[in-house]
A = this chain, B = another copy of it.
Amino acid sequence: MCSVIGVFGNKNASRLVSSGLFATQHRGQEATGISAMNNKKINTRKKLGLVSSVFRHDGHFDTIQGDVAIGHNRYSTAGGNSILDAQPIQANFELGTMSIVHNGNLIDKDEVRKRLISEGAIFQSKMDTENLIHLIAKSKHKKMEERIIEAVRSVKGAYCFLIINDNKMYAIRDKYGIRPFSIAKLKDGGYMVASETCAFDLVDADYIRDVEPGEMVIFDNKNGMKSTTLYEKEYRPCAFEYIYFARPDSIIDGKSIYESRIDMGKTLAKESQIKADVVIPVPDSGVPSAIGYSKESGIPFELGIIRNHYVGRTFIEPNQNVRAAKVKQKLSAMKNVIQGKSVVVIDDSIVRGTTSKIIVQMIRKAGAKEVHFKVSSPPVKFPCYYGIDTPEKKDLIHSDMNTEEVRKYLNVDSLEYLSMDGLIDSIGTKRNYALESFNGDYFI
Protein backbone atom coordinates (compact mmCIF):
# COMPACT_ATOMS: atom_id res chain seq x y z
CA MET A 1 0.00 0.00 0.00
CA CYS A 2 2.15 2.94 1.18
CA SER A 3 1.95 6.58 0.21
CA VAL A 4 4.38 8.90 -1.51
CA ILE A 5 4.55 12.68 -1.34
CA GLY A 6 6.77 15.11 -3.21
CA VAL A 7 7.23 18.87 -3.04
CA PHE A 8 9.14 20.90 -5.59
CA GLY A 9 10.12 24.54 -5.35
CA ASN A 10 9.20 25.51 -1.82
CA LYS A 11 11.65 26.32 0.92
CA ASN A 12 9.48 24.43 3.41
CA ALA A 13 9.61 21.33 1.24
CA SER A 14 10.33 18.84 4.02
CA ARG A 15 7.70 20.31 6.32
CA LEU A 16 5.11 20.20 3.60
CA VAL A 17 6.02 16.62 2.73
CA SER A 18 5.67 15.70 6.40
CA SER A 19 2.16 17.19 6.37
CA GLY A 20 1.29 15.21 3.28
CA LEU A 21 2.62 12.05 4.91
CA PHE A 22 0.60 12.83 8.00
CA ALA A 23 -2.58 13.19 5.94
CA THR A 24 -1.92 9.85 4.27
CA GLN A 25 -0.84 7.96 7.36
CA HIS A 26 -3.75 5.53 6.78
CA ARG A 27 -1.79 4.11 3.82
CA GLY A 28 1.13 2.95 5.97
CA GLN A 29 2.11 3.11 9.63
CA GLU A 30 5.26 1.03 9.87
CA ALA A 31 7.97 3.49 8.88
CA THR A 32 8.30 6.93 7.38
CA GLY A 33 11.05 8.99 5.84
CA ILE A 34 11.91 12.11 3.89
CA SER A 35 14.76 12.99 1.52
CA ALA A 36 15.43 16.66 0.90
CA MET A 37 17.56 18.15 -1.87
CA ASN A 38 19.52 21.33 -1.42
CA ASN A 39 21.52 22.42 -4.46
CA LYS A 40 21.86 18.82 -5.72
CA LYS A 41 22.90 17.48 -2.33
CA ILE A 42 20.43 15.05 -0.80
CA ASN A 43 19.93 14.06 2.82
CA THR A 44 17.53 11.48 4.19
CA ARG A 45 15.90 10.90 7.55
CA LYS A 46 13.86 7.73 7.96
CA LYS A 47 12.70 5.73 10.93
CA LEU A 48 10.22 3.12 12.11
CA GLY A 49 7.10 4.77 13.55
CA LEU A 50 4.31 7.20 12.76
CA VAL A 51 4.86 10.52 11.02
CA SER A 52 3.79 12.36 14.16
CA SER A 53 6.62 10.79 16.13
CA VAL A 54 9.37 10.60 13.50
CA PHE A 55 8.89 14.23 12.45
CA ARG A 56 7.77 15.60 15.78
CA HIS A 57 9.83 18.70 16.34
CA ASP A 58 11.95 21.26 14.55
CA GLY A 59 15.16 19.41 15.23
CA HIS A 60 13.90 16.50 13.17
CA PHE A 61 14.06 18.69 10.09
CA ASP A 62 17.56 20.02 10.71
CA THR A 63 19.29 17.65 8.35
CA ILE A 64 16.61 17.68 5.65
CA GLN A 65 16.62 21.25 4.41
CA GLY A 66 16.10 22.19 0.79
CA ASP A 67 13.42 23.24 -1.65
CA VAL A 68 12.74 19.79 -3.04
CA ALA A 69 11.70 16.83 -0.92
CA ILE A 70 10.08 13.45 -1.25
CA GLY A 71 8.63 11.22 1.44
CA HIS A 72 7.14 7.82 2.04
CA ASN A 73 4.87 6.02 4.49
CA ARG A 74 5.57 2.33 4.66
CA TYR A 75 2.82 -0.20 5.20
CA SER A 76 3.67 -2.96 7.63
CA THR A 77 4.12 -6.27 5.92
CA ALA A 78 4.94 -9.60 7.48
CA GLY A 79 8.54 -9.80 8.65
CA GLY A 80 9.45 -6.51 7.10
CA ASN A 81 9.64 -4.23 10.09
CA SER A 82 13.27 -3.43 9.53
CA ILE A 83 14.76 0.00 9.10
CA LEU A 84 16.56 -1.48 6.09
CA ASP A 85 13.20 -1.62 4.30
CA ALA A 86 12.19 1.98 4.96
CA GLN A 87 12.10 4.50 2.12
CA PRO A 88 13.25 6.84 0.57
CA ILE A 89 16.27 5.00 -0.79
CA GLN A 90 19.11 7.36 -1.44
CA ALA A 91 22.04 6.34 -3.62
CA ASN A 92 25.12 7.74 -5.26
CA PHE A 93 25.49 6.89 -8.92
CA GLU A 94 27.09 8.26 -12.04
CA LEU A 95 24.95 11.38 -12.20
CA GLY A 96 25.43 12.30 -8.56
CA THR A 97 22.94 11.44 -5.85
CA MET A 98 19.34 10.39 -6.31
CA SER A 99 16.60 9.45 -3.91
CA ILE A 100 13.48 7.54 -4.73
CA VAL A 101 10.13 6.59 -3.21
CA HIS A 102 7.64 4.12 -4.57
CA ASN A 103 4.00 3.21 -4.09
CA GLY A 104 2.96 0.05 -5.84
CA ASN A 105 4.44 -3.31 -6.66
CA LEU A 106 6.72 -4.42 -9.46
CA ILE A 107 5.41 -7.83 -10.42
CA ASP A 108 8.55 -8.88 -12.23
CA LYS A 109 10.76 -7.79 -9.37
CA ASP A 110 12.25 -11.21 -8.70
CA GLU A 111 13.28 -11.77 -12.31
CA VAL A 112 14.69 -8.27 -12.65
CA ARG A 113 16.53 -8.61 -9.37
CA LYS A 114 17.93 -11.97 -10.43
CA ARG A 115 19.14 -10.51 -13.68
CA LEU A 116 20.67 -7.49 -11.99
CA ILE A 117 22.38 -9.71 -9.44
CA SER A 118 23.77 -11.92 -12.18
CA GLU A 119 25.26 -8.75 -13.61
CA GLY A 120 26.98 -7.98 -10.35
CA ALA A 121 24.45 -5.77 -8.58
CA ILE A 122 23.97 -6.02 -4.84
CA PHE A 123 20.68 -5.57 -2.97
CA GLN A 124 20.62 -4.24 0.53
CA SER A 125 16.87 -4.42 1.11
CA LYS A 126 13.86 -6.50 0.15
CA MET A 127 12.21 -3.55 -1.59
CA ASP A 128 11.50 -3.64 -5.32
CA THR A 129 12.29 0.06 -5.30
CA GLU A 130 15.94 -0.92 -5.19
CA ASN A 131 15.47 -2.54 -8.63
CA LEU A 132 14.63 0.77 -10.22
CA ILE A 133 17.63 2.49 -8.71
CA HIS A 134 19.90 -0.16 -10.20
CA LEU A 135 18.26 0.12 -13.59
CA ILE A 136 18.72 3.88 -13.57
CA ALA A 137 22.31 3.59 -12.39
CA LYS A 138 23.21 0.98 -15.00
CA SER A 139 21.68 2.81 -17.92
CA LYS A 140 24.20 4.07 -20.44
CA HIS A 141 22.20 7.20 -21.17
CA LYS A 142 23.81 10.50 -20.31
CA LYS A 143 20.66 12.25 -19.20
CA MET A 144 18.73 11.32 -16.09
CA GLU A 145 15.45 11.66 -17.94
CA GLU A 146 16.47 9.07 -20.50
CA ARG A 147 17.83 6.76 -17.84
CA ILE A 148 14.56 6.88 -15.95
CA ILE A 149 12.60 6.18 -19.11
CA GLU A 150 14.80 3.22 -19.93
CA ALA A 151 14.57 1.91 -16.38
CA VAL A 152 10.81 2.30 -16.07
CA ARG A 153 10.26 0.69 -19.44
CA SER A 154 12.13 -2.38 -18.28
CA VAL A 155 9.88 -3.11 -15.30
CA LYS A 156 6.29 -4.27 -15.05
CA GLY A 157 3.76 -3.62 -12.36
CA ALA A 158 1.79 -1.00 -10.56
CA TYR A 159 3.85 2.00 -9.60
CA CYS A 160 3.98 5.63 -8.69
CA PHE A 161 7.58 6.78 -8.42
CA LEU A 162 9.00 10.04 -7.20
CA ILE A 163 12.68 10.55 -7.92
CA ILE A 164 14.90 13.51 -7.12
CA ASN A 165 18.30 14.23 -8.62
CA ASP A 166 20.23 17.27 -9.81
CA ASN A 167 17.61 19.80 -8.67
CA LYS A 168 14.82 18.04 -10.55
CA MET A 169 11.91 15.93 -9.36
CA TYR A 170 10.38 13.17 -11.51
CA ALA A 171 6.89 11.75 -10.97
CA ILE A 172 6.09 8.58 -12.92
CA ARG A 173 2.89 6.53 -13.00
CA ASP A 174 2.34 3.18 -14.64
CA LYS A 175 0.27 3.09 -17.83
CA TYR A 176 -2.75 1.57 -16.07
CA GLY A 177 -2.80 4.25 -13.41
CA ILE A 178 -3.41 1.54 -10.86
CA ARG A 179 -2.44 3.64 -7.85
CA PRO A 180 -3.70 7.23 -7.51
CA PHE A 181 -1.22 10.07 -8.10
CA SER A 182 -2.14 13.73 -8.22
CA ILE A 183 -0.54 17.14 -8.60
CA ALA A 184 -1.35 20.40 -6.82
CA LYS A 185 -0.03 23.93 -6.73
CA LEU A 186 1.14 25.31 -3.40
CA LYS A 187 -0.15 28.74 -2.49
CA ASP A 188 3.27 30.09 -1.53
CA GLY A 189 5.10 28.59 -4.46
CA GLY A 190 5.95 25.27 -5.95
CA TYR A 191 4.15 21.98 -6.48
CA MET A 192 3.04 19.02 -4.42
CA VAL A 193 2.57 15.50 -5.79
CA ALA A 194 0.71 13.01 -3.62
CA SER A 195 -0.78 9.55 -3.52
CA GLU A 196 -4.08 11.06 -2.37
CA THR A 197 -5.68 14.44 -2.71
CA CYS A 198 -6.40 14.63 1.04
CA ALA A 199 -2.73 15.63 1.38
CA PHE A 200 -3.42 18.79 -0.59
CA ASP A 201 -6.33 19.81 1.63
CA LEU A 202 -4.18 19.78 4.75
CA VAL A 203 -1.64 22.21 3.30
CA ASP A 204 -4.15 24.26 1.36
CA ALA A 205 -2.68 23.29 -1.98
CA ASP A 206 -4.83 23.53 -5.09
CA TYR A 207 -5.37 20.34 -7.04
CA ILE A 208 -4.34 20.76 -10.68
CA ARG A 209 -4.61 17.36 -12.26
CA ASP A 210 -3.55 13.74 -11.90
CA VAL A 211 -0.27 12.39 -13.13
CA GLU A 212 -1.64 10.57 -16.18
CA PRO A 213 -1.26 6.83 -16.57
CA GLY A 214 1.97 6.26 -18.47
CA GLU A 215 3.15 9.81 -17.88
CA MET A 216 6.34 11.17 -16.44
CA VAL A 217 6.11 14.70 -15.08
CA ILE A 218 9.42 16.47 -14.62
CA PHE A 219 9.67 19.43 -12.28
CA ASP A 220 12.60 21.75 -12.74
CA ASN A 221 13.38 25.35 -11.98
CA LYS A 222 13.49 26.43 -15.58
CA ASN A 223 10.40 24.81 -17.01
CA GLY A 224 8.23 24.22 -13.97
CA MET A 225 6.17 21.16 -14.90
CA LYS A 226 7.00 19.28 -18.09
CA SER A 227 5.15 16.22 -19.30
CA THR A 228 6.53 13.19 -21.14
CA THR A 229 4.46 10.23 -22.23
CA LEU A 230 6.19 6.93 -21.56
CA TYR A 231 3.27 4.74 -22.50
CA GLU A 232 -0.06 4.99 -24.17
CA LYS A 233 -2.44 4.96 -21.25
CA GLU A 234 -4.80 2.04 -20.59
CA TYR A 235 -6.49 3.30 -17.46
CA ARG A 236 -7.41 0.53 -14.98
CA PRO A 237 -7.44 2.01 -11.50
CA CYS A 238 -7.47 -0.29 -8.50
CA ALA A 239 -11.00 -0.91 -7.28
CA PHE A 240 -9.74 -1.44 -3.76
CA GLU A 241 -8.72 2.19 -3.49
CA TYR A 242 -12.41 3.00 -3.86
CA ILE A 243 -13.60 0.10 -1.70
CA TYR A 244 -11.54 0.67 1.41
CA PHE A 245 -8.03 1.88 1.01
CA ALA A 246 -8.19 5.59 0.15
CA ARG A 247 -9.40 8.19 2.62
CA PRO A 248 -13.07 9.09 2.12
CA ASP A 249 -12.26 12.75 1.51
CA SER A 250 -9.86 11.95 -1.33
CA ILE A 251 -10.88 12.19 -4.95
CA ILE A 252 -9.46 9.76 -7.48
CA ASP A 253 -9.86 10.51 -11.14
CA GLY A 254 -12.57 12.99 -10.36
CA LYS A 255 -14.66 10.59 -8.33
CA SER A 256 -15.10 11.10 -4.59
CA ILE A 257 -14.14 8.05 -2.59
CA TYR A 258 -16.92 8.77 -0.12
CA GLU A 259 -19.53 8.94 -2.85
CA SER A 260 -18.28 5.73 -4.41
CA ARG A 261 -18.77 3.98 -1.10
CA ILE A 262 -22.22 5.48 -0.59
CA ASP A 263 -23.09 4.21 -4.05
CA MET A 264 -21.68 0.75 -3.32
CA GLY A 265 -23.99 0.61 -0.32
CA LYS A 266 -26.95 1.73 -2.40
CA THR A 267 -26.22 -0.77 -5.13
CA LEU A 268 -25.78 -3.51 -2.57
CA ALA A 269 -29.17 -2.63 -1.17
CA LYS A 270 -30.72 -2.88 -4.61
CA GLU A 271 -29.06 -6.18 -5.30
CA SER A 272 -29.68 -7.89 -2.01
CA GLN A 273 -32.93 -6.76 -0.53
CA ILE A 274 -33.90 -7.99 2.85
CA LYS A 275 -36.25 -7.15 5.68
CA ALA A 276 -34.38 -6.04 8.73
CA ASP A 277 -34.61 -3.67 11.67
CA VAL A 278 -31.33 -1.91 11.49
CA VAL A 279 -28.23 -1.40 9.31
CA ILE A 280 -24.91 -1.19 11.14
CA PRO A 281 -21.43 -0.64 9.70
CA VAL A 282 -18.19 -2.26 10.72
CA PRO A 283 -16.29 0.96 11.52
CA ASP A 284 -14.59 2.92 10.17
CA SER A 285 -14.40 1.83 6.54
CA GLY A 286 -17.89 0.30 6.38
CA VAL A 287 -19.65 3.49 7.46
CA PRO A 288 -20.30 5.16 4.09
CA SER A 289 -21.60 1.95 2.48
CA ALA A 290 -23.90 1.39 5.43
CA ILE A 291 -25.22 4.93 5.05
CA GLY A 292 -25.83 4.21 1.37
CA TYR A 293 -27.48 0.89 2.14
CA SER A 294 -29.75 2.57 4.63
CA LYS A 295 -30.71 5.34 2.22
CA GLU A 296 -31.63 2.90 -0.50
CA SER A 297 -33.30 0.26 1.63
CA GLY A 298 -35.01 2.53 4.11
CA ILE A 299 -33.73 0.38 6.95
CA PRO A 300 -32.52 2.69 9.73
CA PHE A 301 -28.77 3.30 10.03
CA GLU A 302 -27.28 2.99 13.51
CA LEU A 303 -23.81 2.81 15.04
CA GLY A 304 -24.12 -0.76 16.27
CA ILE A 305 -20.40 -1.26 16.70
CA ILE A 306 -18.18 1.27 18.47
CA ARG A 307 -14.52 1.63 17.64
CA ASN A 308 -11.92 2.50 20.27
CA HIS A 309 -9.29 4.69 18.67
CA TYR A 310 -6.72 4.34 21.46
CA VAL A 311 -5.67 0.87 20.37
CA GLY A 312 -1.90 0.56 20.35
CA ARG A 313 0.11 -2.10 18.66
CA THR A 314 1.06 -4.25 21.52
CA PHE A 315 -1.51 -3.95 24.26
CA ILE A 316 -2.58 -7.50 24.99
CA GLU A 317 -5.50 -8.74 27.00
CA PRO A 318 -4.62 -11.37 29.57
CA ASN A 319 -5.92 -14.91 29.11
CA GLN A 320 -7.41 -14.57 25.70
CA ASN A 321 -6.86 -15.52 22.18
CA VAL A 322 -4.71 -12.72 20.83
CA ARG A 323 -6.63 -11.93 17.67
CA ALA A 324 -9.99 -12.01 19.40
CA ALA A 325 -8.51 -9.79 22.09
CA LYS A 326 -7.32 -7.29 19.53
CA VAL A 327 -10.70 -7.16 17.81
CA LYS A 328 -12.41 -6.73 21.18
CA GLN A 329 -10.06 -3.92 22.15
CA LYS A 330 -10.85 -2.18 18.92
CA LEU A 331 -14.55 -2.88 18.50
CA SER A 332 -17.50 -3.36 20.80
CA ALA A 333 -21.09 -4.19 19.96
CA MET A 334 -23.94 -1.96 21.18
CA LYS A 335 -26.43 -4.14 22.98
CA ASN A 336 -29.10 -1.42 22.94
CA VAL A 337 -28.95 -1.11 19.19
CA ILE A 338 -28.75 -4.81 18.44
CA GLN A 339 -30.71 -6.73 21.04
CA GLY A 340 -33.72 -8.51 19.63
CA LYS A 341 -33.15 -6.99 16.24
CA SER A 342 -32.67 -8.33 12.79
CA VAL A 343 -29.37 -6.71 11.90
CA VAL A 344 -27.76 -5.95 8.55
CA VAL A 345 -23.98 -5.64 9.05
CA ILE A 346 -22.06 -3.85 6.31
CA ASP A 347 -18.35 -4.39 5.83
CA ASP A 348 -16.21 -3.39 2.87
CA SER A 349 -14.69 -6.79 2.27
CA ILE A 350 -13.97 -10.21 3.72
CA VAL A 351 -10.40 -11.39 3.30
CA ARG A 352 -9.40 -14.13 5.74
CA GLY A 353 -12.77 -14.20 7.47
CA THR A 354 -11.33 -14.40 10.96
CA THR A 355 -12.11 -10.85 12.01
CA SER A 356 -15.59 -11.03 10.50
CA LYS A 357 -16.27 -14.18 12.49
CA ILE A 358 -15.32 -12.47 15.74
CA ILE A 359 -17.50 -9.48 14.88
CA VAL A 360 -20.45 -11.75 14.23
CA GLN A 361 -19.88 -13.43 17.60
CA MET A 362 -19.98 -10.00 19.23
CA ILE A 363 -23.20 -9.12 17.49
CA ARG A 364 -24.79 -12.45 18.39
CA LYS A 365 -23.70 -12.01 22.00
CA ALA A 366 -25.30 -8.57 22.02
CA GLY A 367 -28.60 -10.32 21.32
CA ALA A 368 -29.22 -9.97 17.59
CA LYS A 369 -32.22 -11.95 16.39
CA GLU A 370 -30.83 -12.29 12.89
CA VAL A 371 -27.48 -11.32 11.41
CA HIS A 372 -27.30 -10.51 7.71
CA PHE A 373 -23.78 -9.86 6.55
CA LYS A 374 -23.50 -7.66 3.46
CA VAL A 375 -20.21 -6.89 1.81
CA SER A 376 -19.81 -3.83 -0.40
CA SER A 377 -17.48 -5.62 -2.80
CA PRO A 378 -17.34 -9.03 -4.51
CA PRO A 379 -15.66 -12.03 -2.85
CA VAL A 380 -11.85 -11.74 -2.74
CA LYS A 381 -10.65 -14.93 -4.39
CA PHE A 382 -7.18 -13.99 -5.61
CA PRO A 383 -4.19 -12.21 -4.12
CA CYS A 384 -3.44 -8.71 -5.35
CA TYR A 385 -0.01 -8.28 -6.88
CA TYR A 386 -0.49 -4.65 -7.74
CA GLY A 387 0.31 -3.06 -4.42
CA ILE A 388 -2.38 -4.09 -1.95
CA ASP A 389 -1.07 -6.31 0.80
CA THR A 390 -3.45 -9.28 0.59
CA PRO A 391 -2.54 -12.67 2.01
CA GLU A 392 -1.60 -15.61 -0.19
CA LYS A 393 -4.37 -17.43 -1.96
CA LYS A 394 -4.61 -20.24 0.59
CA ASP A 395 -5.40 -17.74 3.36
CA LEU A 396 -8.27 -16.12 1.47
CA ILE A 397 -11.46 -17.60 2.82
CA HIS A 398 -13.04 -17.50 -0.64
CA SER A 399 -10.18 -19.32 -2.31
CA ASP A 400 -11.74 -22.66 -1.43
CA MET A 401 -15.13 -21.91 0.09
CA ASN A 402 -18.21 -20.77 -1.70
CA THR A 403 -20.55 -18.15 -0.31
CA GLU A 404 -22.76 -20.68 1.46
CA GLU A 405 -19.77 -22.26 3.15
CA VAL A 406 -18.49 -18.91 4.27
CA ARG A 407 -21.97 -18.03 5.53
CA LYS A 408 -21.91 -21.12 7.71
CA TYR A 409 -18.36 -20.41 8.87
CA LEU A 410 -19.34 -16.91 9.90
CA ASN A 411 -22.54 -18.19 11.44
CA VAL A 412 -24.78 -15.60 9.82
CA ASP A 413 -28.35 -15.86 8.57
CA SER A 414 -27.41 -14.53 5.18
CA LEU A 415 -24.28 -13.40 3.43
CA GLU A 416 -24.28 -11.34 0.30
CA TYR A 417 -21.67 -9.58 -1.77
CA LEU A 418 -21.87 -6.68 -4.15
CA SER A 419 -21.75 -8.01 -7.70
CA MET A 420 -18.88 -7.14 -10.01
CA ASP A 421 -21.22 -5.09 -12.17
CA GLY A 422 -22.62 -3.43 -9.11
CA LEU A 423 -19.12 -2.50 -8.01
CA ILE A 424 -18.25 -1.06 -11.41
CA ASP A 425 -21.51 0.87 -11.58
CA SER A 426 -20.96 2.28 -8.11
CA ILE A 427 -17.51 3.59 -8.82
CA GLY A 428 -19.08 5.16 -11.70
CA THR A 429 -17.64 5.91 -15.02
CA LYS A 430 -17.61 3.07 -17.52
CA ARG A 431 -13.97 2.27 -17.27
CA ASN A 432 -11.95 -0.82 -16.77
CA TYR A 433 -10.88 -1.34 -13.22
CA ALA A 434 -8.14 -3.47 -11.78
CA LEU A 435 -10.30 -6.26 -10.40
CA GLU A 436 -7.81 -9.09 -10.23
CA SER A 437 -8.56 -9.85 -6.58
CA PHE A 438 -12.10 -10.71 -7.58
CA ASN A 439 -11.69 -12.31 -10.97
CA GLY A 440 -8.05 -13.32 -11.21
CA ASP A 441 -7.56 -11.19 -14.29
CA TYR A 442 -3.89 -10.37 -13.89
CA PHE A 443 -3.65 -8.05 -16.85
CA ILE A 444 -0.03 -6.99 -16.31
Contact = CB atoms under 8 A, between A and B. Distances in A.
A442 interface: no
A394 B269 CA distance: 51
Q: How large is the interface on A (under 10, 10 to 19, 20 to 34, 35 or more residues)?
A: 35 or more
Given A258-B337, A329-B22, A311 B94 contact: no
B329 A202 contact: yes
A321 B202 CA distance: 13
B92 A122 contact: yes
Contacts of A287: 303
A52 interface: yes
A362 B15 CA distance: 22
Contacts of A333: 249
A409 B334 CA distance: 38
Contact of A256 (B89, B93, B118, B334): B334
Contacts of A352: none
Nearest to A114: B94
Contacts of A29: 310
Interface string A302-342: 11001011111011011100000000110011111100000
B310 A50 contact: yes
A312 B122 contact: no
A291 to B, nearest CB: 6
Contact of A201 (B52, B118, B319, B332): B332
Contacts of A256: 334-336
A70 interface: no
Given A249-B306, A258-B337, A120 B92 contact: no
A215 to B, nearest CB: 25
Interface string A88-128: 01111110000000000000000001000110111110000
Nearest to A247: B306
A439 interface: no
Contacts of A328: 202
B118 A122 contact: no
Nearest to A140: B120
Nearest to A52: B312
A348 B248 CA distance: 23
A198 interface: yes
Contacts of A336: 251, 256, 258-259
A75 to B, nearest CB: 14
Nearest to A93: B122
A67 to B, nearest CB: 14
Contact of A89 (B118, B124, B308, B311): B124
A365 B39 CA distance: 37
A137 interface: yes
Contact of A121 (B56, B137, B308, B317): B137
Interface of A: 12, 15-16, 19, 22-23, 25-26, 29, 44, 50-53, 55-57, 83-84, 89-94, 113, 117-118, 120-124, 133-134, 137-139, 188, 198, 201-203, 247-249, 251, 256, 258-259, 262, 284, 287-288, 291, 295, 300-303, 306, 308-312, 314-315, 317-319, 328-329, 332-337
